[in-house]
Amino acid sequence: VHRLRSVDNLFVVVQEFKDYQFKESKEDALKDLEDLVKKLPWTDPLKVWELNNSLKKKKTKRKKHNLQSPASKEKLSDVGEEGGADQNTTNDQEDCAQNPVAVEPAGGQDTENPQGVTPRDGEEEDSEQADVNAEAQASSASGTGAADGQPKVLRFRVTCNRAGDKHSFTSNEAARDFGGAVQEHFQWKADMTNFDVEVLLNIHNNEVVVGIALTEESLHRRNITHFGPTTLRSTLAYGMLRLCDPQPTDIIVDPMCGTGAIPIEGAAEWPHCYHIAGDNSPQAVKRAANNICSLLRKNESKDSSTALGVPLDVIQWDICNLPLRTGSVDIVVTDMPFGKR
Ligand SMILES: C[S@@+](CC[C@H](N)C(=O)[O-])C[C@H]1O[C@@H](n2cnc3c(N)ncnc32)[C@H](O)[C@@H]1O
């Protein structure tokens, strides 16, 4: 599954409830979620998680601002990543402003608990997300032994994504109480940034899915180092290209390439085609060129056969005046500008 190119995040499902009946009062609903933890079939999913550890890419440290910024999706604009026409809609972003820490400061009991809120990066359509961090006493964990013979204490965090207007609790509260119960059940240690296990609590109206994350950061970031305001996810770029069913020797053009997500994904995944990218914005062309350089450098460090280059050129041009002969292109694949969003 780690080789799938159109998948942003992978997780193993612990249990799925299609029609979970939430109690009306907040206390009762949260108590139910807490009680759920010890009834869930964790054993097999944890085995999958353990197996996955030997297969997945090495952990990259989470950026600090993820932790601190409650204005969840804003962090993407730090690197200018938010945006292609087919990504989150404006409405989604407004929904995200409902992030509990931003508009609903936790009162009473909440403020006593050290908490952080780290939304995952933009992949959910949702209204709010929260991770919980509560201090825990260290103890043994299932399955993973430490080198010195002592059982290794696993660190965990819970990420809750909640969507729907009928819930009496916030995602923050759900993550906090569910997290507390996970901690008690497994005797794991809660840690927001340096966690071994990320437990996912996805609540969408009456549907509840509890899972364990198998990827640590969204796979859509591959190959792009220089982001622009409308950079397309590599996972989407892959899907678009795949729909075109490229054949070896095909000439594939993205005439409005922006930072080059489509042609770069194309060159990486369909190296037997020739990819031509262009944009009328000099800045976009520069970013695309930088991204191609990064890909070249990455290839150089891999093996010598790909170090010579990537089958991709980037040019500044205007789509109304392409320097291409009629009939010389096999596939045109592009992510069009849709004006003001
Ligand atoms: C939605 S963005 C493409 C984003 C791109 N897929 C990426 O990953 O960065 C649309 C692009 O079309 C470019 N564009 C707009 N009008 C153009 C024109 N007349 N000729 C060429 N490119 C144009 C813009 O500069 C912008 O970079």
Q: What is the CATH number of the domain that holds 259?
A: 3.40.50.150
Q: Which of 86, 230, 276 to mutate to test ligand 1, by most ligand atoms within 8 A of the CB atom?
A: 230
Q: What does the pLDDT average to over 72-100?
A: 32
The answer on 295 and 154 residing in a single domain is no
> Ligand 1 centroid to 218 CA: how many Å?
24
Residue 142: Cβ-neighbour burial (10 angstroms; 0-12, 13-18, 19+) = middle
Boundary-marking domain end, from 179, 213, 247: 213
Cβ–ligand 1 contact at 228 (below 6 Å)? yes
The answer on 259 and 162 residing in a single domain is no
Cβ–ligand 1 contact at 15 (below 6 Å)? no
Q: Can you name the residues that pair with 204 across neighbouring β-strands? A: 163, 207
- Between CA 52 and CA 61, with CA 55 as vertex, the angle to 5 degrees is 85
Cβ–ligand 1 contact at 253 (below 6 Å)? no
Q: Which residues form the domain of 302?
A: 222-332
For a pLDDT cut of 70, what percent of the chain falls above it? 70
Q: Read off the pTM.
A: 0.68
Cβ–ligand 1 contact at 263 (below 6 Å)? no
- Among protein residues, the one whose CA lies closest to atom 1 of ligand 1: 337
Q: Which of 234, 252, 279 to mutate to test ligand 1, by most ligand atoms within 8 A of the CB atom?
A: 279
Q: Which residues contact 269 (CB under 8 A, 6 or more apart)?
A: 5, 238, 241
Q: CA end-to-end span of the chain, whole Å? A: 34
Q: Which of 79, 231, 256 to mutate to test ligand 1, by most ligand atoms within 8 A of the CB atom?
A: 256
Boundary-marking domain end, from 187, 213, 239: 213
User: 72: pLDDT confidence band, cut at 50, 70 and 90?
Assistant: very low
Would 323 be classed as within a structural domain? Answer: yes
- Among protein residues, the one whose CA lies closest to atom 3 of ligand 1: 258
Would 337 be classed as within a structural domain? Answer: no
The answer on 109 and 178 residing in a single domain is yes
The answer on 293 and 203 residing in a single domain is no
The answer on 271 and 152 residing in a single domain is no
For the chain, what is the mean pLDDT? 78
Residue 157: Cβ-neighbour burial (10 angstroms; 0-12, 13-18, 19+) = buried
Split into its structural domains, the chain has a count of 2
Question: Any idea what the CATH number is for the domain that residue 207 is in?
Answer: 3.30.2130
The answer on 209 and 233 residing in a single domain is no
How is 201-241 classified by DSSP, letter by letter? EEEETTEEEEEEES-SS-GGGTT--S--TTPPPHHHHHHHH
The answer on 281 and 187 residing in a single domain is no
Boundary-marking domain end, from 213, 238, 271: 213
The predicted-structure confidence for 98-126, as pLDDT tens digits, reads as follows 223 222 333 322 322 333 333 344 333 33
Would 58 be classed as within a structural domain? Answer: no
The answer on 274 and 173 residing in a single domain is no
Q: What is the pLDDT of residue 122?
A: 39
pLDDT at 95 over 50: no
pLDDT at 252 over 70: yes
Q: What is the pLDDT of residue 217?
A: 80
Cβ–ligand 1 contact at 202 (below 6 Å)? no
Residues in the chain: 341
Which element (helix H / strand E) includes 161? Answer: strand 155-163
Of ligand 1's listed atoms, the one at least distance from the Cα of 85 is 1
Would 63 be classed as within a structural domain? Answer: no
For a pLDDT cut of 90, what percent of the chain falls above it? 61
The answer on 314 and 181 residing in a single domain is no
Residue 1: Cβ-neighbour burial (10 angstroms; 0-12, 13-18, 19+) = exposed
Would 166 be classed as within a structural domain? Answer: yes
Q: Is 139 helix (H, G, I), strand (E, B) or coil?
A: coil
Would 70 be classed as within a structural domain? Answer: no
> Ligand 1 centroid to 317 CA: how many Å?
10
Would 315 be classed as within a structural domain? Answer: yes
Q: Label the pairing between strands 155-163 and 128-132.
A: antiparallel
45-59, 218-232, 254-268: which has the highest mean pLDDT? 254-268
The answer on 278 and 133 residing in a single domain is no
- Identify the weakest region by mean pLDDT among 88-102, 124-138, 156-170: 88-102
The answer on 181 and 326 residing in a single domain is no
Would 117 be classed as within a structural domain? Answer: yes
The answer on 288 and 175 residing in a single domain is no
